[in-house]
């Protein structure tokens, strides 16, 4: 009996030890992660419908279903029994129905959910997917945007092929500036137009016309006779691609009136509760690398335009009037952290919540969403480095938000994640304050020497922040201290900071990154003989630039880079985007300038063993860019390897299996050059 007692005691202790010793985050864990997106709170603030996102291990894809939860966190339930993608939920003005889009065997359609009965019905049979679903104020109509196809151009006609003959397909002909897009491929001819449909079902009716795109957020006038939208209906719209204006369209007659007329992006019109004003977002284009988007107000007829909170030096987005009509809720990033604030009409801004984001699982980019009820209760996506976005609620009279979902506790409570710490340091270029973050390996021992990985963000007009990231956690779990900085050009630090890259990219942003490396060496968390560097897109550009500027890194992984601005600019899907706003003139007008900032110009200096990776269907930084680096290093007999990811566009990690492929290859390449691995 005593022997049996001690055996049982040993088993209990062993179980306790096993529970206490958490596992590190692993590759397969990403398929168990879920996150919240697009939370929409009911007008009375009692319920929230949200999209619950996850990764399907069998289909190798991201999926999302709609869920309904009370604002106090109770009664969390799936909206429908359908196991298909559902998106874009929107409450009716009275809160009795939820309209949403969902996939069917025939394509994406519009569905209605009745709150009282829980019944669901399909309202449409559309030829293309709807977007921008919006209720009329009286709840009787829905507006949405949808593609209307056009016939492609024909240059020459050839005789019809004989019956049964196996001829080649006819050529694909385009005469448009924008004719392909990364992740989509060839764009079939056509334009997006605005449609209306009765909220109880019926035939959709097209209310805009012409060879222009009409898409983005829609807003109904108070009496339901007019819809306000943004579009680029100028004659040379293809070449003024940054431009858009605010328009109104009469729902019955289709008459369109332009309400703005400046050169620059004016968009996201929102009609005030009293129907007398329109809030919108935009700026007058100063032709530079980065400008902050400002809040504007105008009368309903387009008169009396004015900027509100002009001195607020952060870009705003996702605007929504408060119920009183004396202020506008806005989303903005500040120092790598997402916020929701309220801007009063006299220009005062009040921050309401922090930590908005967490809807990009791969890397810690900005992005998130929120909505506000009539009583001022805010529902939003909340994230921290320890978890992807959960639903959080800030009550109308509450001081602190409450996190009402914990979708990943069953997984992450039993994983030892890498601790994320913010750091600030000075740039050697001009003394500016630069922000970055350090991710420590699980169970980090400060007395132990770890390899140090720099992970440069893309964009470059973007920002990393204190948000959850599967890639950073996987790198940390592999034993690396990971450093991700926001050098100059990053957003969330103001217009002047973001615009420092104009005709200077890469420039002193290189110094900002290397100063961060030196700062971490001085702090004892990085070591000169164990430095590694990686990054994708603009981060790939920076990584290639860094190894061309110095030989301090043991190995590099350059992911989907631009190596030659001349060839990239004229072959990428956004080839029309760069001139004047990034570098003065076109490549043939400014050959020396484009070449000066091309990392391939430094390839003769590279001594660092370098892995080059690119998606084989990348149209943004085409594979030919990556191959220029790989071929040059091969010719120079520098140790290198080319990894081409099949089926991947610019967002290599868009498929979960490719995310694993990306991280695993970077880790395996770096592990070859780790001192601790060499000594094993």
Tokens matching residue 456: 């440069």
> Is residue 403 within 8 Å of residue 382, measured between CB atoms?
yes
State the pLDDT at residue 12.
40
**Cα–Cα nearest to 470, from 386, 355, 593:** 386
The whole-number average pLDDT for the span 186-214 is 96
State the pLDDT at residue 680.
53
Q: How far apart are CA 391 and CA 405, in angstroms?
A: 5
**Average pLDDT in the chain:** 95
Q: What is the pLDDT of residues 602-657, one digit of tens each?
A: 999 999 999 999 999 999 999 999 999 999 999 999 999 999 999 999 999 889 99
Q: What interhelical angle do 656-671 and 470-477 show, nearest 10? A: 30
Peptide bond into 506 cis (omega under 30): yes
Q: Phi, psi (5° rounding) for residue 435?
A: -110, 145
Peptide bond into 460 cis (omega under 30): yes
Q: What is the pLDDT of residues 223-247, one digit of tens each?
A: 999 999 999 999 999 999 999 999 9
Helices (H), 478-606: 495-498, 509-522, 538-549, 565-569, 591-596
**Predicted confidence band of residue 4 (pLDDT cuts 50, 70, 90):** very low
> Is residue 606 within 8 Å of residue 636, measured between CB atoms?
yes
DSSP state of 64: E
State the pLDDT at residue 5.
37
DSSP state of 619: S
The whole-number average pLDDT for the span 275-282 is 98
**Predicted confidence band of residue 106 (pLDDT cuts 50, 70, 90):** confident
State the pLDDT at residue 18.
43
Q: How far apart are CA 480 and CA 466, in angstroms?
A: 18
- 20 has a pLDDT exceeding 60: no
> Is residue 613 within 8 Å of residue 665, measured between CB atoms?
yes
The whole-number average pLDDT for the span 525-547 is 98
Q: What is the pLDDT of residues 22-38, one digit of tens each?
A: 899 999 999 999 999 99
SS3 state at 63: strand
**Cα–Cα nearest to 658, from 60, 35, 59:** 60
**Cα–Cα nearest to 560, from 474, 628, 625:** 625
Burial degree of 288 (CB within 10 A; 0-12, 13-18, 19+): middle
Tokens matching residue 573: 């899907």
The whole-number average pLDDT for the span 349-358 is 97
CA-angle at 414, arms to 410 and 419, nearest 5°: 115
Domain ranges of the chain: 34-79+361-415, 416-672
**Of residues 341 and 158, which shows the higher confidence score?**
341
Global pTM exceeds 0.85: yes
Alpha-carbon 459 to chain mean position: 10
- 95 has a pLDDT exceeding 60: yes
SS3 state at 655: coil
Alpha-carbon 27 to chain mean position: 22
Tokens matching residue 102: 């969902």
Q: How far apart are CA 283 and CA 303, in angstroms?
A: 17
Q: Residue 351: beta bridge partners?
A: 341
Burial degree of 336 (CB within 10 A; 0-12, 13-18, 19+): buried
Alpha-carbon 594 to chain mean position: 27
Could you tell me which residues come within 8 angstroms of residue 405 by beta carbon, excluding any fewer than 6 positions away? 36, 69, 73, 76, 390, 391
Q: How far apart are CA 66 and CA 84, in angstroms?
A: 10
Q: How far apart are CA 189 and CA 33, in angstroms?
A: 38
SS3 state at 648: coil
CA distances from 42 to 48, 114, 210, 219, 414 (A): 6, 13, 36, 18, 35
**Of residues 56 and 67, which shows the higher confidence score?**
67
DSSP state of 500: G
Q: How many CA atoms lie within 13 A of 522 on its CB side?
A: 9
% helix / strand / coil in the chain, to the nearest 5?
20, 35, 50
SS3 state at 200: coil
Q: Are strands 555-559 and 337-344 parallel, antiparallel or unpaired?
A: unpaired
> Is residue 394 within 8 Å of residue 369, measured between CB atoms?
no
The whole-number average pLDDT for the span 442-469 is 97
State the pLDDT at residue 6.
36
CATH of domain 416-672: 3.40.50.1820
State the pLDDT at residue 679.
56
> Is residue 358 within 8 Å of residue 382, measured between CB atoms?
yes
Q: What is the pLDDT of residues 485-510, one digit of tens each?
A: 999 999 999 999 999 999 999 999 99
């Amino acid at each position: 009996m005593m022997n049996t007692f001690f055996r049982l005691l040993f088993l209990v202790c062993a179980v306790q030890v096993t529970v206490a010793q958490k596992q590190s985050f692993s590759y397969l864990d990403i398929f168990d992660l879920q996150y919240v997106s697009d939370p929409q709170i009911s007008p009375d603030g009692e319920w929230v419908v949200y999209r619950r996102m996850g990764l399907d291990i069998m289909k190798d894809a991201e999926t999302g279903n709609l869920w309904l939860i009370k604002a106090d966190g109770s009664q969390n339930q799936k909206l429908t029994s359908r196991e298909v993608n559902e998106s874009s939920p929107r409450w009716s003005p009275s809160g009795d129905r939820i309209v949403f889009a969902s996939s069917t065997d025939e394509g994406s359609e519009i569905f209605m959910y009745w709150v009282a009965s829980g019944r669901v019905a399909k309202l449409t049979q559309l030829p293309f997917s709807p977007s921008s679903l919006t209720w009329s104020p009286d709840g009787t109509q829905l507006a949405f945007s949808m593609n209307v196809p056009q016939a492609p151009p024909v240059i020459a006609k050839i005789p019809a092929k004989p019956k049964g003959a196996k001829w080649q397909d006819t050529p694909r002909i385009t005469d448009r500036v924008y004719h392909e897009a990364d992740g989509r491929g060839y764009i079939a001819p056509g334009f997006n137009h605005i449609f209306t449909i009765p909220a109880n079902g019926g035939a959709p009716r097209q209310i805009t016309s012409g060879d222009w795109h009409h898409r983005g957020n829609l807003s109904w006038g108070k009496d339901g006779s007019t819809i306000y939208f943004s579009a680029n209906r100028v004659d040379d719209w293809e070449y003024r691609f940054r431009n858009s204006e605010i328009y109104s369209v009469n729902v019955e007659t289709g008459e369109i009136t332009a309400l703005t007329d400046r050169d620059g992006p004016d968009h996201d019109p929102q009609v005030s509760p009293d129907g007398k004003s329109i809030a919108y977002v935009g700026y007058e284009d100063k032709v530079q690398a980065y400008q902050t988007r400002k809040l504007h107000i105008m009368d309903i007829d387009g008169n009396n335009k004015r900027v509100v909170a002009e001195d607020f030096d952060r870009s705003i987005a996702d605007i929504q009037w408060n119920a009183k009509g004396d202020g506008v809720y806005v989303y903005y990033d500040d120092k790598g952290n997402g916020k929701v604030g309220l801007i009063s009409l006299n220009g005062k801004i009040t921050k309401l919540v922090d930590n908005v984001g967490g809807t990009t699982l791969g890397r810690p980019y900005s992005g998130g969403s929120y909505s506000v009820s009539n009583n001022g209760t805010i529902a939003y996506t909340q994230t921290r480095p320890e978890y992807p976005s959960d639903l959080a609620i800030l009550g109308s009279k509450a001081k602190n938000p409450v996190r009402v979902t914990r979708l990943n506790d069953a997984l992450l409570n039993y994983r030892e994640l890498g601790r994320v710490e913010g750091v600030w340091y000075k740039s050697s270029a001009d003394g500016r304050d630069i922000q970055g973050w350090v991710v420590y390996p699980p169970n980090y021992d400060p007395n132990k020497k770890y390899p140090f990985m720099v992970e440069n963000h893309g964009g470059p007009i973007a920002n990393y922040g204190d948000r959850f990231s599967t890639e950073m956690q996987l790198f940390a779990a592999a034993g690396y201290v990971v450093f991700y900085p926001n050098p100059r050009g990053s957003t969330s630090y103001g217009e002047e900071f973001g615009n420092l890259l104009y005709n200077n990219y890469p420039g002193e942003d290189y110094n900002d990154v290397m100063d961060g490396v030196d700062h971490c060496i001085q702090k004892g968390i990085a070591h000169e003989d164990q430095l590694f560097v990686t990054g994708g897109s603009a981060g790939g550009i920076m990584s290639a630039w860094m190894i061309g500027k110095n030989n301090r890194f043991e190995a590099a992984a350059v992911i989907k880079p631009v190596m030659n601005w001349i060839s990239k600019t004229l072959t990428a899907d956004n080839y029309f985007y760069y001139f004047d706003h990034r570098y003065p003139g076109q490549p043939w007008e400014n050959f020396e300038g484009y070449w000066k900032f091309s990392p391939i110009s430094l390839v003769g200096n590279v001594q660092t063993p370098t892995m080059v990776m690119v998606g084989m269907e990348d149209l943004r930084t085409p594979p030919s860019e990556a191959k220029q680096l790989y071929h040059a290093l091969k010719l120079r007999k520098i140790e290198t390897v080319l990894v081409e990811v099949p089926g991947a566009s610019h967002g290599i990690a868009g498929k979960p299996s490719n995310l694993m492929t990306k991280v695993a290859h970077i880790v395996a390449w770096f592990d070859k050059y780790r001192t601790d691995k060499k000594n094993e």
